[in-house]
Amino acid sequence: MANIKFTVKNKINSRCCKARTGILELKHGAVNTPAFVPVATKAAIKALTKDDLEELGIEILMCNTYHLMLKPGSKTIDELGKLNRFMHWEKPVMTDSGGFQAFSLGYGMEFTTGKLFFYEDDALGKKDIKNIKKNSGPKLAKITEEGIHFKSVYDGSRHFLSPEESMRIQHELGSDIMFAFDECTSPLATYNYTKESLARTHRWAERCIIFHKKEKTGQALFGIIQGGHYEDLRKEGTEFICGLPFDGIAIGGSLGKSKKEMGEILDWIVPGIPGDRPIHLLGIGAVEDIFESVKRGIDLFDCVSPARLARSGYVYILPKSGGSAKNKFRYRIKNAGFEKDTRPLDPECGCRMCRTYSRAYVNHLFRSDEYLAYTIATYHNLYFILDLMKEIRKAIDENRFEGLMGGWVGV
């Protein structure tokens, strides 16, 4: 489809490291890869202004189709000049397909094992959770060959998403990169269910391409490889999705229960993806996971965790300041023990918040429920991850990625 230009700059090609750097050129600008894509779920990064985002050097944001189609509506965003103008952000934006939330917020669904579906959403406040409980039931979401019927978490109103609808909505949103409409199966899904679902996801992928091709919007479209934790299904998914003319390839769904399983699953998939396509790993953002995936050749990640952790009072910390795989490179600034700590959140961090505020003050802000706490912690956490990505790109370019990774998490 050629709606992007992806240039691989440097690639490490040792037996166990395939890390690479590249430049992804999109409608609204270039993105240096490997890149972490912060999630602006409802067209905003919680508690940060546009100036903060620019100061952080963010090159691309991920917005959430499900939430935006319901509030304020994709038609409204279209009328207001599409996502970039709506949210006053000049750089690239990607949008997911909307399917993930339509499924995952419709937990207790008929098609899975009967257990609760995994529940992962950044955008929900207390009011939303209350609404979900009110509107939830065994049939909050229903899947057919055509698409997904679901109820809004906001007001219980009925909605429908299909490959064509998802494309149409993402066209209205006007993102630089869209994702194909797929079913993200539950980690609890059986082999048979996952296999059936994968076949449907493939039929949906073709429908997305057909619909998107007609519209000629110039937006890039990424296909998504599903298949759960089943090797043959993942390989089948990889072959099928890479056989379609997608601008990039995403890896979605369950990546197993451990870091080791994640590595294995990626090893089934990544070698099957042609080297000229950018690869996006959906929903991954922990430090160790980033290293493990970059090592295997992943170019893009999106994850809500830096902002979500920030809101829970967790702040990232560099290895030099005591961060390690054991403490997940973070500590809880809300905890007792920091009330009189005059050091910055991370004494080795160069971010504006660490240059300004002490742990004692941020501890006080969290304990006093001051919004400023979220601004400070979110900014710091995003700076941490974005700076890590910069370090990683530099290390790859200088052919010392494995050394960097060793220093952080061991190889």
- Does the annotation mark 182 as catalytic? no
Which of 18, 67, 207, 229 touches a copy of itself (CB under 8 A)? 67
Query: Is residue 103 within 8 Å of residue 184, measured between CB atoms?
Result: yes
Closest CB to a copy of itself among residues 23, 372: 372
Residue linked to tokens 């399983």: 261
Q: Which two tokens stand for residue 190?
A: 């059986």
Alpha-carbon gap, residue 61 to 70, rounded angstroms: 19
C-alpha separations of 144 from 107, 110, 149, 193, 198 in Å: 16, 11, 8, 13, 13
In the complex with a copy of itself, the residue whose CB is nearer, 150 or 361, is: 361
Residue closer to a copy of itself, measured from CB, 21 or 378: 378
Identify residues 14-43 at the interface with a copy of itself (CB under 8 A): 42-43
Q: Which of 96, 176, 346, 387 is catalytic?
A: 96
Nearer to a copy of itself, 65 or 185 (CB): 65
148-151/158-161 β-pairing: antiparallel
Q: How far is the CB of 350 from a copy of itself (least distance, A)?
A: 16
DSSP string, 218-278: --EEEEEE--TT-HHHHHHHHHHHHTS--SEEEE-S---SSHHHHHHHHHHHGGGS-TTS-
Closer residue to a copy of itself in complex, CB, 373/409:
373
Cα–chain center distance at 174 = 18
Distance separating alpha carbons of residues 2 and 98, to the nearest angstrom: 23
For residue 173, give Cα distances in angstroms to 73, 77, 159, 183.
9, 6, 17, 21
Which 329-368 positions form the footprint of a copy of itself (CB under 8 A)?
339-340, 342, 352-353, 356-358, 360-361, 363-365, 367-368
Q: Which of residues 363-402 bind a copy of itself (CB under 8 A)?
A: 363-365, 367-372, 374-376
Q: Could you say which of 36, 66, 86, 103 contacts a copy of itself (CB under 8 A)?
A: 86
Q: What binding mask, one character per residue, do residues 124-163 give for a copy of itself by CB under 8 A, x or -?
A: -x-x------------------------------------
Centre a 10 Å sphere on the Cβ of residue 104 and count the other Cβ atoms it contains.
18
In the set 52, 121, 289, 302, the catalytic residue is 302
Contact status: 309 vs a copy of itself (CB under 8 A): no
**Distance, CA of 232 to CA of 126 (rounded, Å):** 41
> Binding segment for a copy of itself among 19-27, 71-79, 182-190, 197-205 (CB under 8 A)?
71-79
* Residue 211 Cβ vs a copy of itself, minimum distance, rounded to whole Å: 27
**Type of residue at 373:** A
Largest Cα separation within the chain, whole Å, is 62
Which amino acid makes up residue 332?
R
Residue 250 is encoded by which pair of tokens? 């995403």
DSSP reduced 3-state for 260: helix
List 7, 14, 76, 324, residue binding a copy of itself (CB under 8 A): 76
Decide: 318 and 328 in contact? Cβ < 8 Å: no
- Give yes or no: 128 in active site: no
Residue span binding a copy of itself (CB under 8 A) among the ranges 75-83, 228-236, 250-258, 272-280: 75-83
Nearer to a copy of itself, 153 or 284 (CB): 153
Residue 90 has what DSSP assignment? Answer: -
Q: How many residues sit close enough to a copy of itself to count as binding (CB under 8 A)?
A: 45
Q: With respect to a copy of itself, which residue has the nearer C-beta, 276 or 369?
A: 369
Helix (H, G, I), strand (E, B) or coil at 116: coil
Q: Which residues are catalytic?
A: 96, 302
Which residue ranges make up the site for a copy of itself (CB under 8 A)? 42-51, 67, 71-72, 76, 79-81, 86-88, 123, 125, 127, 339-340, 342, 352-353, 356-358, 360-361, 363-365, 367-372, 374-376
